[in-house]
Amino acid sequence: MWVLPKGTPNGEEPIEECAMREVREETGLDVRIVRPIGEIEYWFALPRRRVHKIVHFFLMEALGGDTSRHDHEYDEVRWVPVDDARRMLTFDTYREMLERALVAEAV
């Protein structure tokens, strides 16, 4: 499964800080936010309850770091060309966010 980094804020952590922290933890890269590019909503099931999740996505610029520093959540982290990312991403919603990022980058 190939996905984009995401996560849940710690307490009152602002969404933007959460996004940069999750990218750093899950990829090993230090980033800055360029601009928001959208959000997705979905439901998932836990024992005896359903959970509604909203995920905010941002166009980010890598400032440094090293993918070998990624955490245990993922087996592998890769920096790949856009065409490879389009083929590799598991979910259509993630491919849509990739396309939004490309449009936002061109602005």
2-51: per-residue pLDDT in tens? 999 999 999 999 999 999 999 999 999 999 999 999 999 999 999 999 99
Give me the pLDDT at residue 74, please. Answer: 86
Residue 16 contacts residue 53 (beta carbons within 8 Å): no
Confidence of residue 72 (pLDDT cuts 50, 70, 90): confident
Residue 95 has pLDDT above 90, yes or no: yes
Fold classification of 15-106 is Nucleoside Triphosphate Pyrophosphohydrolase (3.90.79)
87: its two tokens: 């083929």
Query: pTM of the prediction?
Result: 0.89
Residue 52 contacts residue 43 (beta carbons within 8 Å): yes
Query: What's the gap between Cα 77 and its chain centre?
Result: 12
Confidence of residue 107 (pLDDT cuts 50, 70, 90): confident
Residue 5 contacts residue 98 (beta carbons within 8 Å): no
Q: Residue ranges of the domains in the chain?
A: 15-106
The amino acid sitting at 101 is A
75: its two tokens: 């087996």
Say how far apart CA 32 and CA 44 lie, in whole Å.
Answer: 30
* C-alpha separations of 39 from 20, 44, 80 in Å: 16, 16, 23
